[in-house]
Structure 1
């Protein structure tokens, strides 16, 4: 979850979202743009993780721990954002409630 002392957390996240929104104008396929964003996130996180090790063997020993950490973080953030969209569906989707 975001660190309350990191004032630019949401600005950085919004920059990634804005890039994906720009890609939608060209590719017009939500699934493909979403998949590319997720792949980019996983690739970047693997690289960030690798920087903390001296060897591939050392990294391999921590593989399960890293998977658990990133999956747990993703799930918590996705749950928060799904709940936000459920609770604000009409506002976010310009829809009227039934």
Structure 2
């Protein structure tokens, strides 16, 4: 896995968030946009992981370790963002911004 804090990490994340914010303009269902973004992240992560294996059987043997890794990473990032929004709630939500 690449280190999450390389120089372009936040630029890449911001580009994905910007696309989702644009999709919010076309949707009255932000949950659907969030679900699509989550699906895309899991699909891409699975593809990146699959590139490191020689066979489906080899990948299957590592399935539980991959699930643990990705779930742990998601939880850590979610906790960080929840804590940030809790601490900065008034600043972030003042005026009910329609983007992330």
TM exceeding 0.5: yes
Higher normalized contact order (CA 8 Å, seq sep 6+, divided by chain length): 2
1:30 corresponding residue in structure 2: 30
1:90 corresponding residue in structure 2: 90
In structure 2, stretches of 5+ residues that fail to align are 96-100
Calculate the aligned-residue CA RMSD, in Å. Answer: 1.1
C-alpha distance after superposition, 1:33-90 (max 9, x if no partner): 0000000000000000000000000000000000000000000000000000000000
2:4 corresponding residue in structure 1: 2
Q: What stretches of structure 1 move > 3 A for 4+ residues in a row?
A: none
> What is the CA–CA distance in structure 1 between the aligned matches of 2:4 and 2:46, rounded to whole Å?
19
> What is the CA–CA distance in structure 1 between the aligned matches of 2:60 and 2:82, rounded to whole Å?
33
1:43 corresponding residue in structure 2: 43
> What is the CA–CA distance in structure 2 between the aligned matches of 1:62 and 1:7, rounded to whole Å?
29
